[in-house]
Amino acid sequence: MSVDKLSPGPACDPKKLFIEVTGLDHGTEHSIQFYDDKDAVQQEFLENKLEVESLEDTCINSWDWNEQKTPINAWLSITADSGVIKLPLFTDIQAKKRVDGEQDYLLHAVMPLTLLPTYDTSLTAKERLAPVRNGYIYVFYNNKAWREIEIRTQDDGSVNLKDIDLYQYRQGRDKPFLDEKRIAVGQPLKEIWLPAKDNKNGARIHLAYSEVQWSSARLNALEKDSGKLTTRLVAFNSINIDGAKGLLHAATLPEMRARAPEVELSVAYPIALNRDLSGKYASALYQDIELEQEQLQKGGDSALQVFKDNNELRFEYGAREHALRSLIQGRNDPFVQLTSTPDYLDDAKARKLRVLPLTDMIFILKHHGSLTLLASGYLQQVQLSASKNKHFHSAELVQRLVLPKKIGETENQLHEHKDDVNTNLGGVFHRTIRTIERQLFRTDFNLLQQALASVLDDPSFAIALLDLTSLSGGNGGAGHAVVSNALSALSLDADKLDTLLPVDERQNHTSINTLVNIHDAKAHHPLHPLLFVPENEVTLDGPYVQPEAGNDGSGLATAANIARWSSDNLLVDESQLESIDLNTIFASADNSEGSFGNYRRISSVVDGILKGFFTSLFTIQSAINSGAVNIEFTALYVNSLSTLKAINAKFLATMTFVPVTGVSLKGYVVGVMGAGLTYGVPEGNSTYKYGKRAAPVAYGSLYDDAGNLIASTNKKDFPKNAKLEKVKARVVMMAEGSDLAMSKAEAQRALNNTGDASKNLSNIYEKLRVPYIISVIEVINLVTTINGLKAESNYLKRGVNIASAVSDLSIALVHAANMMSHNASVLAKASQVNSFIFSPETVARFTTPKKAFRLVESVSRLNVVGFLAGMLTTAIAIWDTCRLYSAQDKDAAMGMGMIALGTGMSSLASTFITASTTFLGIGPIAWLGIAIAIGGGLLYYYFKDSPIETWLKNGPFGESPATSGDYAILQQPQQALSQFINLIMSVSITVYPLEKVKIGPDTRAVLADKGVTHGIMLRSNLLQLLNADKVKVRFFARQAIAKTIKQVRRYGNSHSVEIINADTINSTVIDSVTSAEGRVYFVVFDKKLPKDGVDNSWLKITRPDVYTHQPHFMVRAQIEVDGQAFPALPINELNVLADPQAAPAFNEQDMYWADELNYPLPRPQ
């Protein structure tokens, strides 16, 4: 501090008391009062001697101390709504000589600031400074709570700082605090005065910011334990920014607006938002995001440019989610609306005040959690946007079934065709499935989660969280709610959220260690004792009696501390809630009375408070199953269940964690662990059937609703060849008579009355099964065969093919007839008549010098016909070459071109050219042509595109999609999808006797009583690929007899089966059951079987044929999806007249039907 030139200087001052207050032009809200050493009598005569001297950036308050002989104490007075708030300031204050620099008694006039969250690690703490949000500032002086200042932002952007008279809420001076709500009564302040030096020594001041008002128990606990106090609050004399000593001057900081937390939670860089006084930053950001989304929608180079320029808008997923949602919904809702505000530090800069930076770890966690959840919301919008693309369903199936290297544990046979898909990120395929957005999301999401995990792992966050966990009454659950939200965000797996990412490309969860450590008591994570009750306080092995509620101010999750906010019915007065997180949870809960209302409210509140904890457990469990984490899961689950039980002792007290082999307990199974089962027992699967054995050990079996055996204590219940594993298991149950169980039953009855949502078949492909279902899809191995004549949609081509075949056959017959008649028949003589005779000059002109090759002298009628037939075959090959080339099957086109060339050469040479050297009557040129044709045939055979390759190359995702010809139809979304599904679908139908069907014994007995004799299993990968409940299956069966013929021969035995139709009407389906494997239709066989026999005719006396007969069913099945029937007709048969809706005739004309023997059914020739 430099001394003002007008000042007489330190050496000229008489005996005076100097108290320096930094800053200028201080108002009357703060003042200094003097009292005697008993703090009983105010020394107003001394106060009236005040002289104030303003220097460059500070004020020197002085009082004439010459006549003062007795000890004097200084107090800080703060103007209140009625009277003043008085705070002890300095004891036995002494007159001092004025010094050049800071005076021996020093107060700083400050404005509070905090550090905003950021993802930019290069920013300094000074660059992150911003105003504090609504909340409270706590000042401890000499380890006693000294000031509590309420912060409230006004509508005009100004901030009110108001003191709370803490003395009024104590049991007496320096006595513990009363358990009451403390009200701010001070007048609004423009600054906060804080003592920095007391008689040359540093004042023992500690400070902290909190978003909530600390409970009286919290204040008492901190005053009792100086160690906890110094851990939660920062020492005033140790505050520094970026290592710089002393407080920063407000004048050195940029402009900043008052806080808008609700907006800041939606932007990645709230610092930039805070620095913009005009309020235009958010709208400008949103315009940039809208432009980005428009470029992505355009695709091509525009989309690629977004991929390259991602860094400028990285992590802005709040704006992205809003922009894309508005784009999809066709709305133009503003992102955020902010008005212009003055600089928060405008007055502080003018009056040369300092700033006080205090950390706000809770907001940093909320911000990182919010951006993480907004990013996941953006991905949902991306997937929704993709689903509206005309070719999305086809692209989705290509992404799932062609591109992965493996499907489950099986090598994907279609993966070899991946290069037939256009890999340009701006191309149709990758824009359809939004590859750019998804790829950027996965990268960014992992970074967002890492930032979130770093906050949860930070011990300073756990210390700040104690402000919430130590709140009084129903507010005590606020800390759990805040962490639960963060755990929900951290538990999300980017690779699993991206449902289009192939399973084999998924990576391990990047933040799994944080989740594990928070749950695992042995990891000693700083959050664990705040969130989970100690293991010895709440047992899962029996009923729990809740202790007397209390609040020791520690904020730890002891049973007594939790009891204060976990009342029997979790009914609270919402007006008393101090946490916005709890307010949201309780506002959505049902506060009606009665058991059903209690059940709904408890379920809603407990879910809101603890949902993230159990969600994170499931994520941990998934990581354990994948081998990413090696830890005992049971120990983790016990912590959460114990805490859940402690939260509501009345309704959950009878929940018991027991071994399966323990005492039988009839109740609701809410969790199972062991034998591969975990928590997810479906509704209705809660009945254990125990044997009658009178032993202290429980035996029995567990069935699902369909009667499938899940687990049993008796291995004889399983098929002999079943792979069994003996394991220890535990179940979590709630007693049947408990209050929660009764409420559960009422709730279930109420829910059963709600109507099912209507099914929209147009969205049939919109929701595919979760990744682990797709691992059981059966992918067809498409085998391409070359047929001489096949069904052809082009009538001209079909006629030419027939003409060529007839010509070849006719020529062959003539040659055969000539050979048999030794060329003596009338046909032979007629065929040998010359059609052309060349002159000797012409022959000589087309003869090589050494006469190795020469033109024939004449050409017979038969040779002419043969030549024309050869040329016709050549023309057909050329036609096929053009068609193959247009279908982008270039390898096969080359092969077919070689066939055309070779056929033409051999036809020309064998007709018009004779050679001096021949083999089998054929000259070298003809042999060369034959060799070329054979080579082309082999090339065609081995390299002709399979149907899936043809679809990929000519469909919408190829390098050059077909725009003309047969395959142009693939540019029509519905046809493209239909043809693709038809290529990859599989159907199998198996007839089983009832005793061989995999159902529970009770279900089998009921069906047998109805006369059922057989179950017909329909398996199709479409039932796994698509939503099974939205797939319509048309099923018909007729009774038949399977005649098995066993033939004994010298070279070995053989079996053949002949199906004999035994009925002309369709069988009635008694019942059907759908499972993950397929659908079983139960039918009755009531026909009389022929007698078995032996064919011992005289030709088979030594080796007779044995005939046996078994019941059988002829089956026709059709799968209908969104009006499309499968199996469908291939492209080259779309012109065939066949009605997919017509009932099957049980013959080869059933072109849209699969049977129990063949798929697809043989096409009639």
Domain stop point among 252, 275, 290: 252
- What pLDDT band is residue 543 in, cutting at 50, 70 and 90? confident
pLDDT above 90 as % of the chain: 40
**Cα(first)–Cα(last) distance of the chain, in Å?**
106
Q: Mean per-residue pLDDT for 72-99?
A: 95
Place of tokens 């260690």: 513
**Distance from chain centroid for Cα 492:** 7
pLDDT single digits (tens) 962-986: 888 888 889 999 889 888 888 888 8
Task: Retrieve residue 761's tokens.
Answer: 């078949």
Short-list 233, 13, 7, 23, CA closest to 141: 233
Sheet containing 72-79: order of strands: 30-36, 72-79, 84-90
The answer to the question of residue 557 being in a domain is: yes
Domain stop point among 926, 944, 962: 944
Residue 575 burial class via C-beta count within 10 angstroms: exposed 0-12, middle 13-18, buried 19 and up = exposed
Do 1054 and 907 belong together in one domain?
A: no
pLDDT for position 567: 56
CA–CA dist 921, 910 (Å, integer): 9
CA–CA dist 723, 711 (Å, integer): 12
Higher pLDDT, 341 or 1151: 341
Higher pLDDT, 1161 or 117: 117
Do 79 and 206 belong together in one domain?
A: yes
- What pLDDT band is residue 702 in, cutting at 50, 70 and 90? very low
Q: Mean per-residue pLDDT for 359-385?
A: 95
Residue 174, SS3 per DSSP: coil
CA–CA dist 762, 766 (Å, integer): 9
Residue 178: phi and psi, rounded to 5, are -80, 150
Short-list 975, 850, 861, CA closest to 915: 850
CB 208 within 8 A of CB 233: yes
Residue 687 burial class via C-beta count within 10 angstroms: exposed 0-12, middle 13-18, buried 19 and up = exposed
Task: Retrieve residue 689's tokens.
Answer: 């059937």
Question: Which of 27-31, 486-490, 1151-1155 is predicted with the least confidence, judged by mean pLDDT?
Answer: 1151-1155
The answer to the question of residue 328 being in a domain is: no
CA–CA dist 215, 326 (Å, integer): 43
Preceding peptide of 1160 cis, ω within 30°: yes
Question: Which of 497-511, 580-594, 977-991, 1000-1014 is predicted with the least confidence, judged by mean pLDDT?
Answer: 580-594
Which residues neighbour 816 within 8 Å (Cβ) at sequence distance 6 or greater?
none
CB 1107 within 8 A of CB 1047: no
CA–CA dist 441, 447 (Å, integer): 10
pLDDT for position 309: 74
C-alpha distances out from residue 142 to 104, 106, 532, Å? 18, 16, 33
The answer to the question of residue 856 being in a domain is: yes
The number of folded domains in the chain is 4
Dihedral angle computed from the Cα positions of residues 224, 226, 231 and 234, in that order, rounded to the nearest 10 degrees: 110
Element (H, E) at 450: helix 435-457
CA–CA dist 497, 13 (Å, integer): 74
Do 935 and 1027 belong together in one domain?
A: no
User: Average pLDDT, whole number, for the chain?
Assistant: 77
Which residues neighbour 1160 within 8 Å (Cβ) at sequence distance 6 or greater?
1127, 1154
Domain stop point among 624, 651, 678: 651
The answer to the question of residue 592 being in a domain is: yes
Short-list 554, 577, 545, CA closest to 481: 577
pLDDT for position 948: 86
Q: Which domain holds residue 636?
A: 458-651
Element (H, E) at 365: helix 361-387
Short-list 1073, 1089, 1057, CA closest to 1158: 1057
Query: Is residue 823 pLDDT above 60, yes or no?
Result: no
CA–CA dist 897, 292 (Å, integer): 49
Which residues neighbour 603 within 8 Å (Cβ) at sequence distance 6 or greater?
747
pLDDT single digits (tens) 567-616: 555 555 556 667 777 666 555 444 444 444 444 445 555 666 667 676 77
pLDDT single digits (tens) 676-692: 333 333 333 333 333 33
Buried b / exposed e over 3-22, threshold 16 CB at 10 Å, is beeeeeeeeebeebbbbbbb
**Length of the chain in residues, anyone?**
1165
CA–CA dist 347, 188 (Å, integer): 14
Task: Retrieve residue 101's tokens.
Answer: 């620099």
- What pLDDT band is residue 462 in, cutting at 50, 70 and 90? very high
Do 933 and 1074 belong together in one domain?
A: no
CA–CA dist 329, 388 (Å, integer): 12
Query: Is residue 322 pLDDT above 50, yes or no?
Result: yes
Which residues neighbour 624 within 8 Å (Cβ) at sequence distance 6 or greater?
630, 631, 633
Short-list 438, 437, 424, CA closest to 958: 424
The answer to the question of residue 38 being in a domain is: yes
- What pLDDT band is residue 758 in, cutting at 50, 70 and 90? very low
Helices first, then strands: H and E counts in the chain: 35, 38
Q: Give the range with max mean pLDDT: 88-102, 1053-1067, 1135-1149.
A: 88-102
C-alpha distances out from residue 813 to 364, 784, 806, 831, 909, Å? 92, 32, 10, 12, 22
Do 922 and 1020 belong together in one domain?
A: no
Dihedral angle computed from the Cα positions of residues 630, 633, 635 and 639, in that order, rounded to the nearest 10 degrees: 120
- What pLDDT band is residue 650 in, cutting at 50, 70 and 90? low
Do 27 and 161 belong together in one domain?
A: yes
Do 625 and 482 belong together in one domain?
A: yes
Query: Is residue 696 pLDDT above 60, yes or no?
Result: no
Place of tokens 């004025």: 98
pLDDT for position 81: 94
pLDDT single digits (tens) 1061-1081: 999 999 999 999 887 778 899
- What pLDDT band is residue 620 in, cutting at 50, 70 and 90? low
pLDDT single digits (tens) 124-182: 999 999 999 999 999 999 999 999 999 999 888 889 999 999 999 999 988 999 999 99
pLDDT single digits (tens) 374-399: 999 999 999 999 988 999 989 998 99
Residue 226, SS3 per DSSP: helix
C-alpha distances out from residue 378 to 297, 436, 619, 914, Å? 15, 13, 21, 77
Do 61 and 179 belong together in one domain?
A: yes
| HSE, side-chain direction, 13 A CA sphere, residue 1080 | 21
pLDDT single digits (tens) 915-965: 555 555 556 666 676 777 777 777 767 767 778 888 898 889 988 888 888
Question: If you write DSSP's letter for every residue of 716-736 in order, what string do you get?
Answer: GGS-TT--------EEEEEET
Q: Give the range with max mean pLDDT: 36-40, 207-211, 305-309, 939-943.
A: 207-211
The answer to the question of residue 361 being in a domain is: no
Buried b / exposed e over 987-1005, threshold 16 CB at 10 Å, is bebebeebeebbbbeebbe
Residue 1089, SS3 per DSSP: coil
pLDDT single digits (tens) 828-842: 444 455 566 766 766
Which residues neighbour 932 within 8 Å (Cβ) at sequence distance 6 or greater?
898, 901, 902, 905
**Distance from chain centroid for Cα 445:** 11
CB 229 within 8 A of CB 140: yes
pLDDT above 70 as % of the chain: 68
Query: Is residue 542 pLDDT above 60, yes or no?
Result: yes
The answer to the question of residue 101 being in a domain is: yes
CA–CA dist 336, 261 (Å, integer): 12
CA–CA dist 1037, 382 (Å, integer): 45
CB 835 within 8 A of CB 861: yes
What sign results for the dihedral spanned by CA atoms 1019, 1023, 1024, 1028? negative
Do 1011 and 1124 belong together in one domain?
A: yes
**Do β-strands 30-36 and 129-131 pair in parallel, antiparallel, or remain unpaired?**
unpaired
Do 52 and 166 belong together in one domain?
A: yes
pLDDT for position 843: 62
935-936-942 Cα angle (round to 5): 90
Do 615 and 523 belong together in one domain?
A: yes
pLDDT for position 700: 47
CA–CA dist 621, 636 (Å, integer): 10
Query: Is residue 38 pLDDT above 80, yes or no?
Result: yes
Task: Retrieve residue 323's tokens.
Answer: 């922009």
Do 47 and 143 belong together in one domain?
A: yes
CA–CA dist 740, 780 (Å, integer): 50
The answer to the question of residue 400 being in a domain is: no
